Structure 1
């Protein structure tokens, strides 16, 4: 009987693998932002007290989308969070182009830097093939498997050369110099959160564009190559950053992701 119970337990373990090893250490990615409300939910990366970056497909909406900073478990208010309305959205043009996937988001009030909320360092160089990077976001790390966005996940995967990436593209996709790819056979290539954040060597290097590794585990996923957009990012910051600070918005006036879990937001 004991042997039978052991076999059953092992079978259940194999059928439902644990994901603790893919959970980020709590608050180890203080630049990670959860964007929610306005019809969707996705990730972003804080780069200054006023600005964060996300992908084109995230589609945040001014004064409808909330940026939640200092998050780990989206279902729990841990006391580390800052929930701030989105005030402005600047999309890299040309819009709806297959060549770009980058959006800058300005907060309605500046973030307050703390142990749990810090900006990511922008790239000082481009990541190279073989560089090991950490991808972080909320969602599933199992290919072809849905999982609600709740606990922040981290996977480690290598940057691959452009040709290897292009060889995995479906016919309807075109390569862009604004793309970088990470992932190969026998590595974790999947994180289902839209605009998952790629950090390499302490610098922000990418935002998820196409999660190919979630449908074909051996294929690399595609990220926006942020090192090629440094001038554009700095131009937007210089042009559109407020010169005066608005009065603080009461914390209670902005719902968190946990509070909205029962609403239409897919958090």
Structure 2
């Protein structure tokens, strides 16, 4: 009887799900932002205490969407989160293929930078083919499944040269100079999340433009070409200054 119980126990232990190797080390991407309140949820990257960079098609609505910083497991409160309303969304025009896919999101109040909430630098150079980059987001890493995941996922991808990417993409995808491709053909190393963040050599180099499953590399906005636009948006849409009366004039 004891032997049978041992066999059953071992069988149950063997049936336990294995840890997901693509789940990020918690809070290892402190610039990652979970944007929700629209449908579906999406990702972005914090570039200063007021501003987030994300994809054009991240469904963000001022004063309806929330930006959650310091997140890992979006189904529980871990004590590290800051939930801040979105105050403004500025989308690059014209939209998407064959032009651009980029949006800036301003927070209603500044993020409090700490160990779990940090900014990521804008690129000082463009990526090179063969360079290794890191992509993170709350999307599915399972082929042909697109439901969001509760844990932040991380994958490692190589940058693909433009010509190779153009040759492997479906015919309906019009290539733009504002795109950069990363990933491998027919691989299980994929991540489907609108606005998932691509970081190369410690710099923000892309947000997902479109994911094409695991059969092709994913397409990201080539952020090294948009530094001037990003800075112009931050200057032109700066948060309103709050003024405080001198102590002698208060009642």
TM-score category, normalised to shorter length: 0.7 to 0.9
Give the deviation of 1:245 after TM superposition: 4.4
Aligned partner of 2:182 in structure 1 is 182
Per-residue CA deviations over 1:6-62 (Å, capped at 9, x if unaligned) read xx889968xx7641x211111010110000003331000000111001101112111
Aligned counterpart in structure 1 of residue 236 of structure 2, from 234, 239, 263: 239
TM-score by length of 2: 0.87
- The DSSP-based 3-state class of the residue aligned with 2:226 is helix
Partner of 1:137: 137
* Match for residue 227 of structure 2 among 230, 247, 260: 230
Cα offset, 1:193, TM superposition = 1.5
User: 1:202-261 CA deviation, whole Å, 9 max, x = no partner?
Assistant: 00000111112x242xx21110100010110011111111252499xxxxxxxxxxxxxx
Distance 1:188 1:127 in 2: 23
Query: Which residue in 1 is equivalent to 2:116?
Result: 116
Q: Give yes or no for contact 1:209–1:223 (8 Å, CA) kept in 2.
A: yes
> 1:1-267 to 2 correspondence within 5 Å?
18-19=19-20, 21-95=21-95, 97-185=97-185, 188-212=188-212, 214-216=213-215, 219-245=216-242
Judged with a 3 Å threshold, the aligned counterparts in structure 2 of structure 1 residues 80 and 99 are, in CA distance, closer, same or farther, namely same
Instruction: Look up the SS of the partner of 1:180 in the other structure.
Output: strand
1:149 Cα deviation after fit: 2.2
Secondary structure of the 2:195 match is coil
Q: Distance in 2 between matches of 1:198 and 1:135?
A: 4
Structure 2: runs of 5 or more not aligned: 245-251
Q: Secondary structure at the match of 1:222?
A: strand
* Per-residue Cα deviation, 1:93-138 (whole angstroms, up to 9, x for no partner): 1135531100000111111101111111100000111110110001
How many residues are paired up?
239
1:64 alignment partner, SS class: coil
Runs of 5+ consecutive residues of structure 1 not aligned to the other structure: 248-267
CA contact (8 A) 1:65 1:85 kept: yes
CA distance in 2, matches of 1:78, 1:206: 28
Larger Rg: 2
State the alpha-carbon separation in 2 of the partners of residues 142 and 39 from structure 1. Answer: 20
CA contact (8 A) 1:189 1:221 kept: no
Q: CA deviation at 1:142?
A: 1.6
Measured after TM superposition, the shift of residue 147 of structure 1 is: 4.5
Distance 1:117 1:246 in 2: 27
On the 8 A contact 1:182/1:189 being kept in 2, the answer is no
Report the secondary structure of 2:168's partner residue: coil
Q: What CA RMSD, in Å, does the superposition of the two structures yield over aligned residues?
A: 2.5
